[in-house]
Chains A and B, each alone.
Chain A
């Protein structure tokens, strides 16, 4: 099944939790807040949020400096 992550299409085997998808794509979940189909998810929700077919995921990474 396909999902969109940061504007790119990814083919993943099956529905899975966001945290597992990030690990499988070698993305460190630290310092990330996600938007999935327009809703916001903070890091502690990543292990409970199931990503399904055609979901649109945007990851916003926070880095220091200001």
Chain B
């Protein structure tokens, strides 16, 4: 019978439990994941099982790492996400967290667009570190993504998006995630894409400031291909600060909608 262990195909003469399988392969393990879910060592493997054997406290061999990073998601989902392409417009509070969340899922191709550098007032809500102050956000975020998953292909573009360049920068991606801070840029992206890329799938945000209940955050649809996440009223201002929990909550919803779209039809 054929099974996969840490990403490699193995032929077994007879069914074994996970303990015997690890002994047979001369591997030490104390975490056993079968088809994305942890199992007890007494579990008897079945044909086509996708098995991950993990030894806590030990850095896995390089050739197993990519498989192990996403083994809780299962092979189907992981393969689709690895071949997906998403562009993130704006790498602030929303964009940096959307990028990190997608990186953890192993989303294979991420383009980051932002013109700005990391500065101290970003740190309260954006996924950067103090030692990254002064660097381009795109470069710093690429570094953070690849610390989480080095197999993700990250393309960066240090540019201010406008009516002239936006279509060129975002065309060809399965999902466009609008993560700008200011209203003008949000509308610029929406209006251009509605006119010139009417079939692109876009996930934007509106109303993420303050520390109001997260249950007033909604997802509104515009036509078939556009989703907007937020409460649609709480605009950032001197009375209404942008803070990590709510901005991150909206970013997580944007990332989840991205995954939902890419995995349509997957069982």
Residues of A that sit less than 8 Å from B by CB: 31, 33, 35, 38-40, 42, 58, 60-66
A35 adjacent to B223 (CB under 8 Å): yes
Check if B207 sits within 8 Å of A63, measured CB to CB. yes
A64→B232 contact, CB < 8 A: no
18 further A-B contacts with Cβ under 8 Å, apart from A60-B220, A64-B186, A66-B236, are: A31-B187, A33-B190, A33-B191, A33-B222, A35-B221, A40-B194, A40-B222, A42-B191, A60-B228, A60-B232, A62-B190, A63-B234, A63-B236, A64-B183, A65-B234, A66-B179, A66-B205, A66-B242
A58 to B191, CA, bound (A): 16
Please tell me which one of the listed residues B223, B228, B247 contacts residue A66 in the complex, with CB atoms under 8 A apart.
Answer: B247
Q: B residues touching A (Cβ–Cβ < 8 Å)?
A: 90, 92-95, 179-183, 186-187, 190-191, 194-195, 204-209, 220-224, 226, 228, 230, 232-236, 240, 242, 247
Expressed in whole angstroms, the minimum distance between the Cβ of B124 and any Cβ of chain A is: 13
Q: Hey, which chain A residues are within 8 Å of B183, CB to CB?
A: 31, 62-64
Q: Chain A residues near B221 (CB, 8 Å)?
A: 35, 58
B125 CB → nearest A CB, Å: 9
Q: Are A62 and B223 in contact (CB under 8 A)?
A: no
Chain A CB within 10 A, most for which of B205, B221, B222, B224: B222
Task: List the B side residues contacting A60 at CB < 8 Å.
Answer: 206, 220, 222, 228, 232
5 nearest A-B pairs in the assembled complex, by CB-CB distance: A65-B236, A63-B235, A66-B94, A66-B181, A65-B209
- From A31, A60, A61, A63, residue with most partner B Cβ within 10 Å: A63
The residue among A35, A60, A64 with the most chain B CB atoms within 10 A of its own CB is A64
29 A-B interface contacts by CB (under 8 A)? A31-B183, A31-B187, A33-B190, A33-B194, A35-B221, A35-B223, A38-B223, A38-B224, A42-B191, A42-B195, A58-B220, A60-B220, A60-B222, A61-B207, A62-B186, A62-B190, A62-B206, A62-B228, A63-B183, A63-B230, A63-B232, A63-B235, A64-B236, A65-B207, A65-B209, A65-B235, A65-B236, A65-B242, A66-B93
Bound CA–CA A58/B228 (angstroms): 12
A63 to chain B, nearest CB (A): 4
